[in-house]
Amino acid sequence: MKILICNKNLKKLHTGTSRNVYEQIRYFVSKGFEVHIAAESLDLESLKLFGAIPHKTLRLPWLSGYKRRAFFSKQCDKIKEKIKPRLTIGHGDYQNPDIHCIHNNVHLAYEKIHKKSIPFNNEIYKIHTPIFEDKKFKHIIANSNLAKSDLVSRFNISNSNITVVYPAVNEKKFHKKSESTRKNTRESLHIESNEFLVGLITSGDFNKRGVDIFFNALLSIRKENIKRIKVLLIGEKSIPKDYLSIIEGSEVEKKIVLLPIQDNIEDYFNALDVFILPSRIEEFGRVVAEAMACGCPIITNSDVGSSELATGLAKEFIYSNENTSVISKLIEEIMMNPQISNELSKLSLVNVDFILEKNIYSEFDTVFNTYIKQ
């Protein structure tokens, strides 16, 4: 029995969407399905290693963004017609799958980031809007209740037509490591044993991820505390001038350790004393869940979907984007109270457990089996 999964860009394996596609590949292969992948850019070796059959679509460089996406969608239609899969899954680029996996609520995100409605001529608007208005799909998978609520209210989609399945965390990669691994990673970053390491790790897009909010929060930390803080920022090779100007000449600037995207990101999660994601909007925020799986205390906000995982004391470290001034106080509270830090670390491991990949397959069963059996 064949499954077709369509996603335009599968070359960048560090993105949340790519990871989600690979989760689905592993799931369907483990169930004995023949998994086909349609993508414009892909990692052939990786896909074959995972047991998938790749279909590389044609890229016409002279096409604009919208026309290029539409062309990709038409090619997926042809692949679907040719191989006749039992189920077709799209990840936002393909217009006509049976099930849409929605990773980005583009209308909501634009409003949160730009403080205005997304223009009708925006290429992402033109791709995503018909998906929800035409309602040709059989079902939608949203990656958080935050994302689902927006789709239901904005497009009048029935609650029963959307299932929330949190993106899974690969526990073989993301888990709490030994103290010696933590020590070695910190030493490689030149972090002293008495220093408190604050981290913001992203796949880029400093504006969406609120790096300016992060820097302003660090500037608000009391002088006696900032002395023993170090800041690990991963996601770009350099800090853009607009962001650098916020901390230029300050004590905070001297504390920044900047790295581009890393393959062994789990080692850096294990090295942190607290992980912060101050995003303006994050439909899920997989990086938060991965940090949790490594036992890291978390500070984030209610516009980040993965904040829904928090329980108990951890909920007290979920702030509102209307009150970002509280971030510095939350950092200092964890820094000055080892008991709170230890409790948050334990809670991270407990709260993330049900979305570890070994536990998420039952969620996939519930959604996919309904439509495979039709």
- pLDDT tens sequence across 162-185: 999 999 999 999 999 999 999 999
Residue with token string 């989609």: 157
* Residue 14 pLDDT class (50, 70, 90 cuts): confident
Question: Average pLDDT, stretch 335-358?
Answer: 97
363: left (phi over 0), alpha (psi -120 to 50) or beta: alpha
Alpha-carbon Rg for the chain, nearest whole angstrom, is 21
255, pLDDT greater than 80: yes
Give the pLDDT score at 248: 95
Question: Average pLDDT, stretch 215-240?
Answer: 94
Domains of the chain: 2-168+356-372 (3.40.50.2000), 179-353 (3.40.50.2000)
Nearest-angstrom CA–CA distance, 201 and 188: 17
Strand partners, 41: 9
Nearest-angstrom CA–CA distance, 270 and 265: 9
205, pLDDT greater than 90: no
Query: Following DSSP, what letter does each residue of 222-282 receive, concatenated?
Result: -HHHHTTEEEEEES-SS--HHHHHHHTTSHHHHHEEEE---TTHHHHHHH-SEEEE--S-B
13, pLDDT greater than 80: no
Give the pLDDT score at 231: 98
Element containing residue 336 per DSSP (H, E): helix 327-336
| The token pair that represents 139 in the structure block | 């079902």
66, pLDDT greater than 90: no
Span of 42-51, 62-71, 221-230 with lowest mean pLDDT? 62-71
Question: Average pLDDT, stretch 282-301?
Answer: 97
* Residue 244 pLDDT class (50, 70, 90 cuts): very high
Give the pLDDT score at 331: 98
Give the pLDDT score at 62: 84
* Residue 21 pLDDT class (50, 70, 90 cuts): very high
Give the pLDDT score at 12: 76
- Helices 327-336 and 211-219 pack at an angle, to 10 degrees, of 60
Give the pLDDT score at 47: 93
Higher pLDDT, 7 or 13: 7
Give the pLDDT score at 61: 84
Give the pLDDT score at 123: 87
- φ, ψ for residue 233 (rounded to 5)? -120, 115
209 by DSSP, 3-state: which? coil
315, pLDDT greater than 80: yes
pTM, full prediction: 0.92
Nearest-angstrom CA–CA distance, 100 and 131: 9
Give the pLDDT score at 236: 87
Question: Average pLDDT, stretch 120-125?
Answer: 90
Question: Average pLDDT, stretch 317-332?
Answer: 96
- Residue 199, CA distances (Å) to 2, 277, 314, 363 in order: 42, 9, 17, 31
Residue 18 near residue 7 (C-beta atoms within 8 A): yes
297, pLDDT greater than 80: yes
Strand partners, 229: 196
What dihedral angle (degrees, nearest 10) is formed by the CA atoms of 62, 63, 68, 70?
-150
Higher pLDDT, 190 or 358: 190
Residue 89 near residue 5 (C-beta atoms within 8 A): yes
Question: Average pLDDT, stretch 110-127?
Answer: 93
Give the pLDDT score at 222: 95
Question: Average pLDDT, stretch 55-80?
Answer: 91
Question: Average pLDDT, stretch 7-16?
Answer: 83
250, pLDDT greater than 90: yes
Strand partners, 2: 34
100, pLDDT greater than 90: yes
